[in-house]
Amino acid sequence: MHNHLVVAVAYDRLCTFEFGCVVELFALPRPELDREWYRFGVCAAEPGPIRAAGGITVEAPYSLRLLDRAQTIVIPGWRDADEAAPEPLLRKLRAAAARGARLASICSGVFVLAQAGVLDGKTVTTHWRYAEKLRTRYPSLRVAADALYVDEGNVITSAGSAAGLDMLLHLVRRDHGSAIANRVAQRLVVAPHRDGGQAQFVPRPMPPDEGARVAKLIDWMRTHAAASHTLASLAERAAMSARTLQRQFREATGLGPYQWLIRERVALAKEMLESRPRLSIEQVAERAGFGSEESLRRHFRRVAKTTPAAYRRRFATKAA
């Protein structure tokens, strides 16, 4: 990640919250990490004053030429899903995609990437309010309407507002590993990891009592991820039937209890692979709750898209 340049695109009627999230993640100095952080810049998508939500004005120091050098480009929302983006911006995005730059969007920013033609054939997401419009307007896209974010390699899209933070932390995790991403999340005072497959919203409110019980169970499972669990034992701890737990857990997280637990165990394995280089893969598998090395390898590859050994080679020395 040496000298990795992240560029945020600013435009008139800028989405202030989404833009602020990008600045917070990539522009702030982080001396506590004891490593070179990202370089960051803001470029203007169009001439003239940039008026942002909340009545403020933003002065971008760079033109679109900065996108020619960017390794990561973030579109922090877009002012109107029905409004065309400036053609010079679209040309720069096409060129960036062609040379292998990483393109990311938050919320309605996906419409800019779609207009540029860099999403064709890919799975994407956006705020649930825009999902049907995106699907109808761009039938070549696979729209995951209920996902927090979708990582397609060099194209990453996220749902609205706070889901953008989840996606940006995911990028930090991809670049620097789980330990660093967790420290960044700690400084932000946010949860260290919400998987992209989690649901954007609960389709119907859970009864307060059941919602509280599921939340307490999730907190307990996170701190006991390596322990042996069954659906029956989890339901007993939550004081509800197994069927009710399955339904409420999925409504709260978008995943079943077992799927969620596997992802927590993979996260635990990542932390050990980064910070405990003397542990064998077999020991990591046992301590993360997988029971066998083969089980760890199978689930790790499915969730992390790599092998435990390859993950360790990439991140262990960085976290040491």
DSSP state of 243: H
pLDDT for position 319: 43
From CA 78, how far away is CA 75, in angstroms rounded? 7
Q: How far from 78 is each of 19, 94, 171, CA to CA, in Å?
A: 10, 17, 20
**Per-residue model confidence as pLDDT tens digits over 290-312:** 999 999 999 999 988 889 999 99
**Which pLDDT value is given to residue 2?**
61
pLDDT in tens, 23-56: 999 999 998 888 889 999 999 999 888 999 888 9
Q: Over the chain, what is the mean pLDDT?
A: 89
Contact 115, 82 (CB under 8 A): no
At 215 the pLDDT is: 86
Q: How much is the pLDDT for 3?
A: 84
Predicted TM-score (pTM) of this structure:
0.77
Q: How many CB atoms lie within 10 A of CB 180?
A: 20
Q: Count the neighbouring beta carbons within 10 Å of the beta carbon of residue 36.
A: 11
Name the burial class of residue 170, with classes exposed (0-12), middle (13-18) and buried (19+) by CB atoms within 10 angstroms of its CB.
buried
Query: Per-residue pLDDT for 95 more than 80?
Result: yes
252 close to 215: Cβ distance less than 8 angstroms: yes
Neighbours of 301 (CB within 10 A): 15
d(CA 318, CA 275): 9
What whole-number distance in Å separates Cα of residue 312 and Cα of residue 272? Answer: 9
**CATH pick for 5-188 out of 3.30.300.160, 1.10.1060.10, 3.40.50.880, 3.30.110.40:** 3.40.50.880
Nearby residues of 253 by Cβ (< 8 Å), 6 or more positions away: 198, 199, 218, 260
Q: Which two tokens stand for residue 192?
A: 């260290």
**Domain spans, the chain:** 5-188, 206-320
CATH number, domain 206-320, options 1.10.10.60, 1.20.210.10, 3.40.50.2020, 2.70.98.30: 1.10.10.60
Quick: pLDDT tens for 190-248. Answer: 766 666 555 544 444 444 555 688 889 998 998 999 999 999 999 999 999 999 999 98
Q: How high is the pLDDT of residue 42?
A: 97
**Residue 207 gets which letter from DSSP?**
P
Residues 86-95 have a mean pLDDT of 98
Domains 5-188 and 206-320 share a fold: no
Q: What is the pLDDT of residues 107-162, one digit of tens each?
A: 999 999 999 999 999 999 999 999 999 999 999 999 998 888 999 999 999 998 78
pLDDT of 252 reads: 81
Is the C-alpha dihedral spanning 128, 300, 153, 70 positive or negative? positive
Residue-wise pLDDT for 251-280, tens only, equals 888 789 999 999 999 999 998 998 888 999
Residue 63 has pLDDT above 60, yes or no: yes
Which pLDDT belongs to residue 188? 86
User: 6-17: per-residue pLDDT in tens?
Assistant: 999 999 999 999
